[in-house]
Every structure is written in structure tokens, then in C-alpha cells.
Amino acid sequence: MKIHWNFKKSKTVEIKLNLKDVLCVLFHSFGYGIIKTKDFECKGRKNMIFVAAIIIIAGIYITMSYNGFVQLQNIVEEAFSTMDVYLKKRYDLIPNLVETVKGYATHESKTLENVIEKRNMAMGAGNMKERQKMEGELTGALKTIFALSESYPDLKANGNFMKLQGQLETIEGDILQSRKYYNGVVRSFNTKCETFPSLIVAKIFSFTQKEYFEITEEKERSNVQVKF
């Protein structure tokens, strides 16, 4: 390696250094070692060991922290997939529920059409925020169906309707628990992204915070209540 200094008198001073010499100079700058003018030799073994240890420890921490992010990210994705399965089960149940109600409440076509519309919009949501909004509206629409059953005793006593009610009640409980679990692992992941020193690793490897799955409308926060 060559280093040039240019002075006002246009003179150039050339010094040849090898990698060993550069390292010696660097270590000497910390106040350790002895440099000999002739060959830039230095004795800084203790300092070199100290720096090497820091590099090794930092490398181990970065590796462990990165693996921790990957594991948490996989858990978040798995938790969302589980919640998504229960949401899809609810989607599949709704058409049968609507058809059963339609046979008894022929004058409630608008209410039933609204439920199907909300279901289709929730299924076609393009991002997390939109889906959260549409899931909340779907939950509210489902409540109106069970409110109708109070006005139609024959519907309320129908065996198929009662069976669908029981299935929906189970699915609603599964959705609630899976949403709580998903939000819990998202909170752990986001905390790791925000706290020092793991936030440095997050920025290096582009780990970003995940979105919670929350019901935004206060009136939709409670689950569908199924009453017999």
C-alpha cells in the first residue's frame, strides 16, 4: 500500500506500508504497543486479542439476535395462518346460515344480502387494515341475523339453524383465541425491533414491525353472541 502527502512545494512523500504495518499503527493509536520507526513493527498482542474478542462476541450476538428474529417472524406467520383458517371457516358457514334464515325470514332480504356482501368484502380485502375493518363489519352483520331469530320462533327452533349456531359459536371462540395469540407474538416481535441493541440488528437485516389484528370499531369488539 502506498500513501502520498502533497505539500505546498509540490513535493510528494511516498511511504510503503503492508497490511501488518497498518494494523500495528491502528493498535498503537489506542495507546498500546511499541512502534519501531524502521519497519513499523509493533508489539500489541494484548490489544489485538482484546479487539478480536470484541469482534467475536459481537458476531455471536448478531447471529443469535438474527436467528431470534427469524424464529419470531416464523411464529408470527404461523399464528396468522391459524387465525386465517378459523376466519375462512366462518366464511364457509355464512352462506348456509343465510339460506336457512331466508326460508323463515323472507322479508329480511336486505339484512341477509348485507351479511353476504360483508363476507365477500372481507374475503377480498387487499391488506391487513382493510381486512380488519371488514372483519369487524362482518361481525356486526352476523349479530343482526341472530337478532332476527328472536322475531321468528320457528326459525329459532329449527334444527339446522341451531346446529349452525353451535358451529358459529365454536368458530367465534377459536377466532378470539387465535387473534389474542397472534397479537401476543406480534407484540414480542415489535418489542425486539424497538429495544436496544436488537434494534440495530433489525435495521441491518430490514426486520420491520408487524401489524396487530384488531377490531377498530368499538361496537364490533364483542363476539357474536349465540343464544338458544
Least confident interval from 112-126, 140-154, 181-195, 199-213? 140-154
- Please report the pLDDT score of residue 21 as a whole number: 56
8-state DSSP, 106 = T
- Please report the pLDDT score of residue 10 as a whole number: 41
| For residues 26-54, average pLDDT | 60
- Please report the pLDDT score of residue 220 as a whole number: 47
Per-residue pLDDT band for 147 (boundaries 50, 70, 90) equals confident
Going from the C-alpha of 137 to that of each of 30, 51, 63, 131, the distances in angstroms are 65, 59, 44, 10
Query: Pick from 45, 17, 19, 18: which is nearest to 32 by CA?
Result: 45
Q: Is the per-residue pLDDT at 176 higher than 70? A: yes
pTM, 2 dp: 0.73
- Please report the pLDDT score of residue 84 as a whole number: 95
- Give the whole-angstrom CA distance, residue 163 versus residue 95: 14
pLDDT averaged over every residue in the chain = 81
